Amino acid sequence: MKMNKLFILLLAVIMIVSTDLSAFAAGEADTPIPISCASRQSTAPISRAKVTGGTVEGIVHDGIASFKGIPFAAPPVGELRWKAPQPVIPWDGIKAASNFAPAPMQDTTFSLSEFSASLRGSQEVSEDCLYLNVWTGARNVNEKRPVMVWIYGGGFGIGMTSTPTYDGANLAKRGVVLVSVAYRVGPMGFLAHPELSAESGIGSGVYGIQDQIAALHWVRENIARFGGDPENVTIFGESAGGYSVSMHAASPSAAGLFHRVISQSGANMGPPPLTLKEAEEMGKAYLEQLGANDIQAARALSAGLIQSATTGIGNFWPVPDNVTVLENQYEAYEEGRFNDTPILIGTNSNEGGMFVRQTFTPAEFVNMVRRQYTSATDEILNAYPHSTDAEATRSAKDLFRESAFAWPTWAWARLHSRNGREKAFTYYFDHRMAASSDGADHAAELPFVFGNLGGIGGRGTSADDPRDRAISELIMSYWVNFARTGDPNLPNLPHWPAFTEADQKAMFFDDEPGARKLPNLDQIKAFDIFFSRIRLTKFN
């Protein structure tokens, strides 16, 4: 694809801006981040910090200190399995924070093309998994740098902080303190059961989301010791991480723990897959097939045995308890009941390409729509071309894009802009590479967000490609400025207008970055009809 001159010019402008931001981060220019005189005189970032539980020591590389494997809760093992996270167990001496902790229990054999490969870090998994990581360039605890807390994706069934794509050094070089948090996935994080609901008094099957909230409490209490500002915290995530971020945006349990929200391909605006009662029955059957007829017996089983009964992703999902996760988040937004912060949210152009791999004939497409979307069959068929095999196959992929990602994101932006005080910004990622001529696949934006192009986890990107570098520089500039101010805009960059119902524009990340109307708005509106009828059936 030929790169136009405007895009080359944009790259040069972004490089200048990013250089200025690097100077800000190092205290070498006037900056909105308060930096003390002592900080300006220091030559090395903070490498040791006293946190909840004890003292940790990180390692410094290229001007950034990284702290890996900091515990933020007690190991959720034994009697703590399937319980809300408990306080950290203190340690003596100085804990070396130089290596990632084991990843949560998960299916390490799962493969979905390059998706799972790009999510892989350390293959070591353990039930003892509640740890987080910090990257900071701060030289002084008083700097009050904006904080960005990353929540990984993986369908709530896989995921780990050690994924190379998620290395936080490049964002930390731009003046933020970057935190990535681990949370329980699969049956360890989201199994519901009547006995577990009775134990908690409110429900069960939401432990992974409670882990994230516990990590946010840790950030509020400890991040200043790394030069971060606990009063300026941005939560951001992708896919299941984006859904998690969306859940926090409406969760009473997460209120006050963050001040900005970035969600990449994830929004919790549709009805939940299962009610609590349905999830409890599924959990009972799951444990019974392992020979455990009650929770006491289940807690005596090995973690490996429990994990072995499920494979892949999508088998477990956060179960609403209306304290941690709301059952009807759409209604809460309609009524103005949500944590009102600035939001920056969006989707990719070919989200469904990774998940829908078979080809469809026109007849097969029509049958699929009539079977799966009975409440709005005509509207959906009218919105999606399907007169040929090629059209039907393309539309099947786009159906997945709208139903799982694009409609929920649009609905979130629309209700937030209508009923919130703070602004909403939306994007459409359509940066195409040789291996993705049909559009940007699910998770394709991740290397660009973190600036980790090429190599392991780069997903076909190249640090030597000026197109890739320009998009990455642009996205990092917007993301960091949003974390700093609640508005992504910077001088000399394409203007990103806030989303409103009257002006529904999104920032396009492609060869000509700029704000334009979404190309799939007609399809999104067809799904708006579908989901409105589903809500009437489910909640009335």
Query: What is d(CA 52, CA 405) in angstroms, rounded to the nearest whole number?
Result: 37
Integer Cα distance of 90 and 87 in angstroms: 9
State the amino acid at position 262 in one-letter form.
I
How far is 190 from 207, CA to CA, in rounded Å?
A: 6
SS3 7: helix
Contact criterion met (CB below 8 Å) for 348 and 442:
yes
In 3D space, the residue among 292, 318, 319 whose CA is nearest the CA of residue 303 turns out to be: 292
Catalytic-labelled residue, pool 143, 238, 351, 379: 351
**Cα separation, 13 vs 287, whole angstroms:** 57
* Residue 239 is among the residues annotated as catalytic for this protein: yes
CB 31 within 8 A of CB 143: no
Going by their DSSP bridges, the two strands 228-238 and 177-181 should be labelled as unpaired
351 part of the active site: yes
Half-sphere exposure of 173 (CA within 13 A, CB side): 17
Q: Which position among 248, 259, 416, 442 bears the catalytic label? A: 442
- Asked if 265 is an active-site residue, the reply is no
| Gap between the Cα atoms of 363 and 378, Å rounded | 14
| Neighbour-count burial of 376, counting CB atoms closer than 10 A to its CB (0-12 exposed, 13-18 middle, 19+ buried) | buried
* Catalytic position from the list 162, 200, 239, 251: 239
Residue 425 and residue 539 in contact, taking contact as beta carbons nearer than 8 Å: no
The Cα-based distances of 26 to 37, 63, 145 in angstroms read 12, 9, 11
3-state helix, strand, coil in the chain (%, to 5): 40, 15, 45
Catalytic residues: 239, 351, 442
